[in-house]
Amino acid sequence: MLAHYADVWKAMDPSDFTIVITGDFFSDPHGNEKLGTQEFLRYAQTEGYEVRTVKAILSNRIKFRYVITNHIISADITLSYIKKQLNHALILLNRGLRCLNVKLHVPEFRPALTYLPQRIGRKQIRYMYGADISEGWSLHSWNNIYDVFLCHGVNDEREIKKRFNGKTFIMGYPRYDRFFSGDLDLSSIRREFGVSESKKTVLWMPTLGGDYSSIPLFAEALSTISKKYNFIVRPHPFSFVQEKSFISLLEKFNFNIDRNAVRDTTEMFGIADVILADNGGTPFSAIFLGKNVIFLDVPDDLGPKAVGSFYITGSSVLELKKHLPVINNQEMKQLMNMLDSEVFYEENSKCIETLFKRYFDSPRGGGAKRVADILESLD
């Protein structure tokens, strides 16, 4: 969340917002403190941001003018106090009618599904969580709570408008503003990963998602070519906790692994000549940044019971795979031919720019200031 919001917070007056953290912020279901918790709190304190727990907000009956969220947050089946009292009276009335053999039933109030942000704010703003959208998650019915949508580009704005009534704005990709700032220093990240200027740098960014992840399918195959390049693996941060066997597999084949789960990936993208992707938001981030992309061939639909299916099924990532190269784990020679070919980079770059126009067509850079201005303009 810090990577998504940090630049926007810096573009705003700290007195204009409060960071609200839920009960799940501090620990996982097993009671273990989550990675990055203390670092986040120290960061917020250093920047002078107000941080409050949702429990404190609710207990003090605080209602914010707007609440900004970028994914679904817990919901309750609720009724207002007045409707509860009316329901009690209606239940008694209907019992009396039945006793009198009167064939009449007065409808009772049905509980409403109330999401946590609705309990602490009058109006809701959706800050889109990556440009990969799917019916199973990012376009699901819970988006009906939002009054405003901050979209990355023309594609997610168009799909949002088809389904929901909230007002839309295109913000670009604020988390990557530094990439376009002109002062991105990549020297330390190159030293950290031992990047040689004489080799192409390949960044493999497998997503979270069990059998949808490229790690179990490609770890051994990619290890056979990894020494020829500056080859870095950036697993999904949750993989270090939820998919430890995948991390062990990467270790078995001696990959150069980015283990900093709370790192802002802007520098990682900055040093890469090409991105190897499977699912999730990574390929869209690469397109926004103008980076070359090669897909690793993983299953597209393993059925509703498979881990991660509601993220993947119907995802816009499937559309990208129709336009960009897709390599299976038996095609390492073909992959090397691409990585070593200047013709590939030229053609892939042209395709990336075409896809940028199709999915984003928004300014590259300046997104944080844009969001701050949008928020300032709201009624």
Average pLDDT over residues 131-147: 89
Check residue 52 and give its pLDDT.
97
Domain 180-359, CATH: 3.40.50.12580
Domain boundaries, the chain: 2-71+119-173, 180-359
Average pLDDT over residues 217-227: 97
Alpha-carbon distance of 233 to 106, in angstroms, equals 62
pLDDT digits (tens, 9 = 90+) for 43-100: 999 999 999 999 999 999 999 999 999 988 876 555 455 666 676 676 777 777 777 7
Check residue 304 and give its pLDDT.
57
Rounded to 5°, the CA angle 353-354-360 comes to 80
Alpha-carbon distance of 329 to 315, in angstroms, equals 22
Q: Which two tokens stand for residue 8?
A: 């926007």
**Backbone dihedral region for residue 313 (phi beyond 0: left; psi -120 to 50: alpha; all else: beta):** beta
Check residue 262 and give its pLDDT.
76
Q: pTM, whole model, 2 decimals?
A: 0.86
Q: Length of the chain, please?
A: 379
Check residue 366 and give its pLDDT.
96
Q: Within 10 A of 375 (CB to CB), how many other CB atoms are there?
A: 19
Alpha-carbon distance of 178 to 239, in angstroms, equals 26
Average pLDDT over residues 232-261: 92
Coil, strand or helix: which one is 232? strand
Average pLDDT over residues 120-144: 91
